[in-house]
Amino acid sequence: MEKLDYLIKYLADENTRINVESHPSTTLEKQRLYHALVNVRPANKISDKYLESEDEYLQYLLSTKGVTKMDDIQTLDETYPDTKIRNSDKMALWRGDITTLEIDAIVNAANSQGLGCFMPLHKCIDNQINTYAGIRLRLECNEYMKTINYHLDTGKAFITGAYNLPSDYVIHTVGPIISTNVTDDDEKLLCDCYVNSLELSRKHDIKNLAFCSISTGEFGYPKTDACRSVLKCVDDYLDKHYDDFDRIVFDVFDQEDVMIYERYIREYR
């Protein structure tokens, strides 16, 4: 693909520290190289021509993956009619790629640097969101992060555009890192991630929001503990702000996550 070749050449040529020893021939290999080059690129200015080409390429890529519309995701009161979750008509569980979800905003599990994942081809959600949104996302994150000296406290959040994602906004939050057992402070900080994201949503008149599973990947928060805390935290929040939201989606990665959520949705008290 000619446009992809241009993007790769631009990114490789602008960074003298990068030496692309062999140029890939297949589309998949080219996509991986482009992905890696985007991941390691600092938040420096870039040409309008590059951004225009990247927009066209990422929109094409999105069209090949397909988009899930929010209205296609059933709420918990429909999928789990016996649940005791009070606001189940506003909440939903969905397993899928959050970068393909057409919704007002998605929540990114960021790191404290707030500029996206710099590890080439890393599988974390921060990496995926920044890659498929495009370089503009890192540039906007940089504008905010430099106002707070490039350190986002655990539990805090900020909002940006979503660029080439089908959502309108991305909310970035930093979850707690668990090294041993989960403490009360850890649980509070995890809840803060959700509450502060919801508060930002209210300020920007965002009615529909999708959360990834914050802290349960690289940050080591046990999935069962996180699920139990998160369901209660969001349910309690909606008790106070019910009319401000239409749908809160919990996006999970695999079948194990689905089973954990299903268990606590059914056992919720």
**pLDDT per residue as tens digits for the range 227-261:** 999 999 999 999 999 999 999 999 998 999 999 99
Q: Tell me how far apart the alpha carbons of residues 125 and 133 are, in angstroms, rounded to a whole number.
A: 12
SS3 (DSSP) at 209: strand
63-114 pLDDT per residue, tens: 999 999 999 999 999 999 999 999 999 999 999 999 999 999 999 999 999 9
- Higher pLDDT residue, 18 or 187? 187
β-bridge pairing 169-174 and 157-161: antiparallel
Q: Where in the chain is the domain with CATH 3.40.220.10?
A: 67-267
Q: Tell me how far apart the alpha carbons of residues 16 and 13 are, in angstroms, rounded to a whole number.
A: 7
DSSP string, 70-120: GGGSPPHHHH-TT---TTTTTEEEEES-GGGEESSEEEEEE-TT-S---ST
Structure tokens at 250: 């919990």
CATH topology for 67-267? Answer: Leucine Aminopeptidase, subunit E; domain 1 (3.40.220)
Residues 168-196 have a mean pLDDT of: 97
How many CA atoms are closer than 13 Å to the CA of 9, on its beta-carbon side? 7
Are 94 and 209 in contact, with CB atoms under 8 Å apart?
A: no
Structure tokens at 204: 């920007």
Give CA separation, 155 vs 111, 192, 205, 215, in Å: 11, 5, 21, 11
Q: Tell me how far apart the alpha carbons of residues 57 and 34 are, in angstroms, rounded to a whole number.
A: 11
Cβ burial of 108 (10 Å; 0-12, 13-18, 19+) is: buried
User: What single letter denotes the amino acid at residue 100?
Assistant: T
Structure tokens at 154: 């655990």
Residues 149-154 have a mean pLDDT of: 98
Q: Tell me how far apart the alpha carbons of residues 240 and 220 are, in angstroms, rounded to a whole number.
A: 30
The confidence score (pLDDT) of residue 21 equals 66
Q: Can you say whether the dihedral through the CA atoms of 264, 196, 193, 169 is positive or negative?
A: positive
49-69 pLDDT per residue, tens: 999 999 999 999 999 999 999
238-241-243 Cα angle (round to 5): 105
